[in-house]
Structure 1
């Protein structure tokens, strides 16, 4: 199975140059056979967590066409504050320490992204299959639960393994359109509300937020963010898996 997953984003004239650059940088082309075999065995025989959290209506929010879904969330009101539930795909459950997948991941370091595709850190049978938080599929995850006060400040946090099931695979454009059009569900409305409060806390503590230039067009707000990205619904203090 090829390790380099191609897309059609890059113009045809520059693709040969990108291919040469990958050669110069010694970017992996394929996963070794033992890594693929170990990944398939892990996908077929993973031991799920004992805790069942599949009743939590999590959703993922990613670019269109994404299949390596490693984060999902749900937010609800809790008294005068909020409960934020944040699931991270539990890749560790599929990777044996010192095994072939572990060694290959250490050698690669990160998923590499290029204008015409990407080189994944883990075999797609895991990152886009058995470990991906695809909708309507039961998956192992590390489940963070944050209690926030009315200002959005964190009061308490817990994390534990759990089985989860995403309800929907959303895109940034879909979420932004739903928020702008007033059709977003309560959890997505709270995503924006909590995000704004977290930004206020960030400014109050002297944090710095950088406006990242868009690789597409400027948004209608003139903020410089990509038109395909959300307007910072949840930024400060969120644990990331990458």
Structure 2
């Protein structure tokens, strides 16, 4: 495609999603941006359309619900979405039995359900055209078990595995799937997940640099992108450690 393709970016109201939208707009690509917060999406639309010759369609929807997923897909109807960025997601700290079950089920619905739904619907259209790129935002958290965030870590393990398998299935049809697996990123995530003041969140990378790393990896058709070389090595070494040692270490990193 000669022109930068239309992109759908979820979780675009802030953080990595908003930064990916900015990168794509700077390359001349139109956007559909989805998140729950209408005001932030409207502000992003004003910003990007003022700075670049692009069109931005904001879609306020709760992607953790089937209705929200249908709303986003309806906004894509009749439009050739060439790039899908699945970034929407949230976490939550606490022991599994102490956390409200409804919160963890909602996490699964968003972190996994929305991603799978959009990959299926838009991936099908991409495969039929013979071209397309998908960027799924997983996490290095998905490369290890996560006591005190059992459901979140497990949801990212699903994203990590699913994304790589999907790439193998779709690549022969002209569609690539890239997994972005960052470490801790300085966004509003920690506040919502009750992760402020724990060792795991003492330092992190800025959202803009992580977004750039992921976007460039997607455009290059890479399979997995870990934004920090030390993290890539560290997660591999964890695979060689005794499981109990890993569990104790991860729990300590998430304990105040």
Provide TM-score, normalisation by structure 1. 0.24
Which is richer in strand?
A: 1
Which structure has the highest helix share of the two? Answer: 2
- Point out the structure with max Rg over C-alpha: 1
Larger relative contact order (Cα-Cα within 8 Å, sequence gap ≥ 6): 1
